[in-house]
A and B are shown apart, each in its own frame.
Chain A
Amino acid sequence: GAVVSQHPSWVICKSGTSVKIECRSLDFQATTMFWYRQFPKQSLMLMATSNEGSKATYEQGVEKDKFLINHASLTLSTLTVTSAHPEDSSFYICSAREWGTENIQYFGAGTRLSVL
C-alpha cells in the first residue's frame, strides 16, 4: 500500500516552455501533497504544500507564478513549471500524506527536469 506515482520521470524542454508534472496517490486518498526540489548531492527542499480543493502554501522564496500547483482531487496534484529556464533544471519530488493516519509522507519517484 501507500504508493505514489509521479510522471514523467524525466523531461527535457526548451527554455521558455512550460512543463507539467503529475503526482498521484494510487491506493489511498491524500488530502495533502507536498512538492520538493532536490539539487545534486543535497537534501530535499520543500517548495509548497498542496491541499485538496484549496490554494497551495508556498515556502519562502518560491515563486508562486512560476511553480503553479493544482490539487484538484484527493489523488492528484500537479506542478507546472511555467516559462522554464535552465536554472529551473532540477529533480522534483512529490509526496503524499494519507488522510486519517500517522503523518507519514510517501514519496513519488521524482521527475528530472532539464531545461535547454
Chain B
Amino acid sequence: EDKVVQSPLSLVVHEGDTVTLNCSYEVTNFRSLLWYKQEKKAPTFLFMLTSSGIEKKSGRLSSILDKKELFSILNITATQTGDSAVYLCAVEIGTASKLTFGTGTRLQVTL
C-alpha cells in the first residue's frame, strides 16, 4: 500500500524562526513529489520535485528531494504569521497522475 508520512504533525514556532518539515514515502511507481500549503480551504501549490538533490526555492521557502532515502524536506526561513497553515506533501504515482497525500503538518507561527 502506498504511504506518505509527514512529521511533525504540528509545530508552534515564534516569528523569525526557521522550520523544517519532513515527508517520507513508500510508493510504487513514483513520479514526483509535491508540496502544498492549505490555509483555510484550497491547497495552494508550492513545489514539484522530480529529481534528487536539486533544491527548489521560492522566497523564504525551499525544498529538496532524496529519492534514495525516499524523503523530502520543506524549509521555511524567517517565518511570519502568514506562514501559519497546514503543509501537505503529496506523491504522484503512476501514469494516472494520482496524488497520495500525507496527513499534513500544522504550522502555527506566533508573535
A103 with B92: CB separation less than 8 A = yes
The 8 A CB mask of A60-100 against B (1 = contact, 0 = none) is 00000000000000000000000000000000010101000
Given the contacts A43-B88, A43-B104, A105 and B41 also touching, CB distance less than 8 Å: no
| C-alpha spacing A105/B77, complex, angstroms | 26
CA–CA, A49 to B99, complex, Å? 10
Interface string of B63-92 (1 = CB under 8 A from A): 000000000000000000000000010101
CB distance from A60 to the nearest CB of B (A): 11
Contact A109 B41, beta carbon cutoff 8 Å: yes
The CA of A113 and the CA of B41, in the complex, are separated in Å by 13
Chain B binding surface, main DSSP class: strand
Question: Is B98's CB under 8 angstroms from A46's CB?
Answer: yes
Contact indicator A104/B48 (Cβ below 8 Å) = yes
CB of B103 within 8 A of chain A?
A: yes
Q: Is B8 an interface residue (CB 8 A)?
A: no
The CA of A102 and the CA of B42, in the complex, are separated in Å by: 20
List 6 A-B pairs, minimum CB-CB distance, nearest first. A43-B101, A109-B41, A109-B42, A107-B42, A43-B103, A103-B97
Chain A residues packing against B (C-beta within 8 Å): 2, 4, 6, 9, 32, 34, 42-46, 49, 57, 93, 95, 97, 102-110
